[in-house]
Amino acid sequence: MTTLIINIKELLQVRDSSILKVSGAEMAVLPTIKNAYLVLKNGLISDFGSMEDLPNINPEKCIDADGKIVLPSWCDSHTHIVYAGNREQEFVDRINGLTYEEIANRGGGILNSAKKLNETSEEEIYQQSKTRLEEVMHLGTGAVEIKSGYGLTVDGELKMLRVIQRLAQNYPVTIKATFLGAHAFPSEYATNHKGYIDLIINEMLPEIAENKLADFIDVFCETGYFTVEETQKIIEAGIKFGLKPKIHVNQFNSIGGIQTGIKHNALSVDHLEVMKPEDIEALKNTETMPVALPSCSYFLSIPYTPARVMIAAGLPLALATDYNPGSTPSGNMNFVVATACIKMKMTPEEAINAATINGAYAMGISETHGSITIGKKANLIITKPIPSYYQIPYAFGSNLIETVLLEGKIFA
Ligand code: NIG
Ligand code: FE
């Protein structure tokens, strides 16, 4: 099946296959072709160029993108889309003055979601999660990482990972699964951390690895959650089972999680709202992608990741949603890109790079996703007619997406 897209006002993120991420000053550059065509064949990008060089082909389908912009679909490298119910009461409690920490300390937060998840059938969790997945696909997400972490029991964690697997089988979006058994200590293990960590290492990990239910391992390394030593132990066990680490660090406190992640060659370290100079120093010249989650900062009214300082230090940066019921009940990557520009002072070029090629890197798929490159997946966004790509962050509350293509086919 060949699709030809013609008269594209501007084709964004045109890259050579050798570029797997962009860092520092390179992030300000977004290579584009104005007045372009794009050819998709068998779900992949097979050719593109200037309309002046339009080849003479006979496609099965032709899309006229006159006045419209085409870009690779968003790569959302950090979500918790699979969950049960919601936490809207906690949202109102926070409006009325409680903090996220206070809510967690009285049994709300992650443990609240874990209780709901363990009481909900696998089928029902699938139904609730698929609605959210379809929503983000319509919002232009073409690759998404999804974490477990609301089970916190052997059965609950496996149930979540099976739901992720089923979503991956049933939808044309690319899905990567992350095991986050170490998201919080269940109350029965509040004073027996070793007991829960043993459960993760001896009961959960072997079963997950045997059934190939996860690609990555995650830990919430934070004061009141998992210490640096506990994080280290869990990611070392995950690595033995072939799971690369991608970890939650520096959301509220800088306690050494970044350094632990780097030491274990983490694919990414995520959140980074609180960064000390030594954290930035540690990330230099590593293979670990820092990931910022600005809609979490927005929703919880906590600091934003210091993007300007990090980019000035030569670091790469990826942007993701963190879609989850507690800290970020939104999976809108368009809003993330806009918020990164508005609140983190990233330029539109930097934010688009962070939400495409660097997001792909942060889930280990930048050889196949995240740019307009021959041979990469034909997962694309076609905008409505707009003056320029600046509109994407500028018109932050508007839906500028007209068409989403996944594996070369229109997703309706
Ligand atoms: O990434 N910080 C840890 N985990 C999630 C939120 C979990 C929740 O509140 O349910 C996050 O923000
Ligand atoms: Fe998260």
0.95 surpassed by pTM? yes
> What pLDDT sits at residue 260?
98
Neighbours of 366 (CB within 10 A): 25
CATH of the domain at 248: 3.20.20.140
What does the alpha-carbon distance between residue 145 and residue 174 come to, in Å, rounded to a whole number? Answer: 8
Q: Within a domain: residue 356?
A: yes
Mutate to test the pocket of ligand 1, among 248, 249, 252, 302 (most ligand atoms within 8 A of CB): 248
Other Cβ atoms within 10 Å of 105 Cβ, number: 12
Helix (H, G, I), strand (E, B) or coil at 384: coil
260 and 118 in a common domain: yes
> What is the C-alpha separation between 219 and 179, in angstroms, rounded?
9
Say whether both 28 and 142 belong to one domain.
no
Q: Does one domain contain both 47 and 135?
A: no
Residues 9 and 49 in one domain: yes
366 domain-assigned: no
Task: Count the neighbouring beta carbons within 10 Å of the beta carbon of residue 109.
Answer: 21
Per-residue pLDDT at 127:
98
- 401 is a domain residue: yes
Residue 374, CB-side half-sphere exposure with 13 Å CA sphere: 6
Q: Crossing angle of helices 348-355/333-344, nearest 10°?
A: 140
Same domain, 96 and 26: no
Atom from ligand 1 closest to the CA of residue 326: 9
Within this chain, do residues 356 and 380 fall inside the same structural domain, yes or no?
Answer: no
What CATH number has the domain bearing residue 49? Answer: 2.30.40.10
Identify the domain containing residue 204 by its residue range.
75-361
Q: Average pLDDT of each block of 10 consecutive residues along the chain (412 residues)?
A: 97 98 98 98 98 96 98 99 97 95 92 98 98 98 98 98 98 98 97 98 98 98 98 98 98 98 98 98 98 98 98 98 98 98 98 99 98 98 98 97 98 90
Do residues 119 and 46 both lie within one domain?
A: no
Together in a domain, 168 and 54? no
Widest Cα–Cα separation across the chain: 70
Asked if the ipTM is above 0.85, the reply is yes
User: Is residue 167 located within the same domain as residue 231?
Assistant: yes
The alpha carbon torsion through 195, 187, 328, 346 (nearest 10 deg) reads -50
**If you take atom 8 of ligand 1, which residue's CA is the nearest one?**
326
CB of 248 within 6 A of ligand 1: the answer is: yes
155 with 299, same domain: the answer is: yes
> What is the pLDDT, as a whole number, of residue 107?
86
Query: Is residue 295 located within the same domain as residue 352?
Result: yes
> Is the CB–ligand 1 distance for residue 322 below 6 Å?
yes
Atom 6 of ligand 1, residue of closest alpha carbon: 327
Q: Which residue has the tokens 């082909």?
A: 57
Total domains in the fold of the chain: 2
